[in-house]
Amino acid sequence: MSEIEIVLASSSASRRAMLEAAGVRFTVVVPNVDEELMRDILTSGGADPYRIAHALAEAKALAVSERHPDALVLGADQLLLCEGRIFSKAVDENEARATLLALSGREHALISAAVIARNGVGVWQRTETARLRMRAFSRGFLDRYLTAELPDVLGSVGCYRIEREGVQLFSEIVGDQFCIRGLPLLGVLQALRDFGALLP
């Protein structure tokens, strides 16, 4: 049986690291999708956060699948929802500080969606949710945390990485660590096995 190509349609370092750690051989192709515009259109149209996360993951997978039709193309997206507000990734230290202060002492949900496409068609999908309660941390802790973790956490919608110092931000976490890091990994691995891209 010929080897099936796996393509990750994402620029996320976290998703790449998870797949590499799991021993998956893949290539990365960054999709040409305007995520902010698409998110704004879906939000203004009244789509719920789960639908938005799925639609963005699907758009990424389909965009790359058109250029790699024989490959299994994995697209993914993650939304952070806190008290009805959908957060976007911070672009600098000031935005990261504002995001963390907005989440301090509150519970939020991380919605991680994944879609696999082949020949320009979505052939598999999964959406998982994790719930996290951020503790009410001191300004001194926040200063030290940002000094240690910037600029790397700008790639995370919540400005934290639970596999590093970001775990100190939380008092309670309910959910899969892979979902929190941006990918429903166990489901993805099973799908890749089902499609014959990984050994059963």
CA atoms of 158 and 153, how far apart (whole Å):
8
Given 48, 70, 77, 152, the catalytic residue = 77
Number of continuous H segments (helices) and E segments (strands) in the chain? 7, 7
Six token digits for residue 50: 């789960």
CA distance to 15, 16, 23, 47, 81, per residue, from 186 (Å): 13, 14, 13, 27, 23
What DSSP designation does 3 have?
P
Instruction: Check if 152 is active-site.
Output: no
CA atoms of 33 and 141, how far apart (whole Å):
36
Six token digits for residue 184: 């429903």
Active-site annotation, residues: 77
